Amino acid sequence: MLRPIAIATLVAGTLDILFAMILTSAYGREIPDMLRYVASGPFPGATDMGTAGAALGLVVHFILMAIMAAAYFWFANCERSAHLVDMPVRGGIAYGVLTYAIMNWVVVPLRFDTPLPPKPLSIATQLFAHIVLVGIPIAIIAARHLKERLR
C-alpha cells in the first residue's frame, strides 16, 4: 500500500504547494520565504537558513502530506469505512474539511500561537486547498487502489 500512498502524497502535495506558491506570488511575497515559514513549524531556525531552509520547507510540506494521505488510506481501509471507497468525492470533501480544521484549529495555533485565519478570503482559499487539492485527490486515489485490492 506504500506506492498508492506515495502517489497520493505526490499528487496532493504538488497541487497544494503549487497553489500556495501562486497565492504567495499573487500577494507579492517571496516563495522561498513561504517555504522557510513552512519549515519553521518543526524547525524554528529555518527562517534564517536561506536556500536550505526553503528546501527543508518542501520536505516538511511533503512529510505532512504523506501523513495526511496515510491517515486517509488507513481509515478508508477499515471495514466500517467502506463507504469512503464507494463515494470518494464525498469522503474527500469531508477529509478536506477535517484536515483544514486540524491544521487551523490545532497545529498552527499550537506551534505559532496564532488564531484562525482572520479574513474570509483566507478561510475560503485554505478550505479550497484542503478540499479540492488535498482531500478529493487523496480520496480518489485511495478508492481506486482499495477497489482494486477488493477485486
**Where is pLDDT greater, at 71 or 85?**
71
Between 148 and 2, residue with greater pLDDT: 2
pLDDT at 115: 67
Cα–chain center distance at 95: 10
Q: Quick check: 151 pLDDT over 60?
A: no
Question: Which residues are within 8 A (CB) of 17 and not within 5 positions of it... i.e. 6 or more apart?
Answer: 58, 61
> From CA 131, how far away is CA 83, in angstroms rounded?
18
| 116 pLDDT higher than 70 | no
pTM, rounded to two decimals: 0.91
Rounded to an integer, the average pLDDT of 96-123 is 83
> In angstroms, what is the C-alpha Rg of the chain?
16
pLDDT at 69 over 90: yes
Mean pLDDT, all residues of the chain = 92
